[in-house]
Amino acid sequence: MLGREDGGVRLTALGADGETLWTQSLVSEQLASAVARCEAEHSPRWVWSDAAAWYPSLLAAGVTLERCHDLRLVHRILRHSELVEDPALLRAASAWDAPLEPHEPVRETGQALFELDTAASRSAEVPSDAAGTLAELSRQRTALDASRAPSRLRLLLAAESAGALIAAELQAAGIPWDEAEHDRILTEALGPRPSPGSPPARMVEAGAEVRAALGDPLVPLDSPPRLLRALHRAGIDVSSTSQWELMEHDHPAIDPLLRYKKMSRLLTANGWTWLDEWVHEGRYRPVYVPGGVVTGRWASSGGGALQVPRQLRPAMRADPGWRLVSADVSQLEPRVLAAMSGDAAMITAGAGKDLYSGIVEAGIVATRQEAKVGVLGALYGGTTGDSGRVVPRLRQRFPAAMALVDGAAATGERGGTVTTWLGRSSPAPEEAWTAAQRSAHQVDAPGGAAETARRAARDRGRFTRNFVVQGTAAEWALSWMAALRLALDRFAPVPEQEAAGPSGPVFSRRAHLAFFLHDEVIVHAPASQAEDAAHAIQEAADAAGRLLFPGSAIDFPLDLTISERSAQK
* Residues in touch with DNA (CB under 7 A): 220, 222-226, 228, 240-245, 247-248, 261-262, 265, 268-269, 274, 287, 289, 292-295, 297, 299-304, 306-311, 328, 373, 376-377, 380-387, 459, 462-463, 466-467, 470, 517-520, 569
Minimum CB separation from DNA for residue 356, in Å?
13
Is beta strand 558-563 parallel, antiparallel or unpaired with respect to 322-329? Answer: antiparallel
Cα–Cα dist 258/537, whole Å:
40
Minimum CB separation from DNA for residue 507, in Å?
23
Query: What distances in angstroms separate CA 450 from CA 362, 433, 437, 443, 453, one per listed residue?
Result: 42, 12, 8, 10, 5
Minimum CB separation from DNA for residue 402, in Å?
14
Q: Would you say 64 or 470 has its CB closer to DNA? A: 470
Cα–Cα dist 227/256, whole Å:
14
Q: Would you say 441 or 455 has its CB closer to DNA? A: 455
Minimum CB separation from DNA for residue 288, in Å?
10
Minimum CB separation from DNA for residue 36, in Å?
32
Q: Would you say 23 or 307 has its CB closer to DNA? A: 307
Q: Would you say 302 or 505 has its CB closer to DNA? A: 302
198: DSSP letter: S
Single-letter code of the amino acid located at 103: H
Q: Would you say 166 or 230 has its CB closer to DNA? A: 230
**In a 3-state reduction of DSSP, which class is residue 129?**
strand
Query: What distances in angstroms separate CA 464 from CA 227, 425, 467, one per listed residue?
Result: 37, 10, 5
**In a 3-state reduction of DSSP, which class is residue 10?**
strand
104: DSSP letter: P
Please measure the distance between the N-terminal and C-terminal CA atoms of the chain and give it in whole angstroms.
45
Minimum CB separation from DNA for residue 535, in Å?
22
Q: Would you say 197 or 550 has its CB closer to DNA? A: 197
Is beta strand 8-14 parallel, antiparallel or unpaired with respect to 20-27? Answer: antiparallel
3-state secondary structure 377-439: HHHHCCCCHHHHHHHHHHHHHCHHHHHHHHHHHHHHHCCCCCECCCCCECCCCCHHHHHHHHH
Minimum CB separation from DNA for residue 106, in Å?
11
Minimum CB separation from DNA for residue 389, in Å?
9
Minimum CB separation from DNA for residue 453, in Å?
16
Q: Would you say 132 or 292 has its CB closer to DNA? A: 292
Listed as own residue / partner, the contacts of 303-308 with beta carbons closer than 8 Å and 24 or more positions apart are 303/278, 304/269, 304/270, 304/274, 305/515, 305/517, 306/517, 306/518, 307/269, 308/270, 308/517
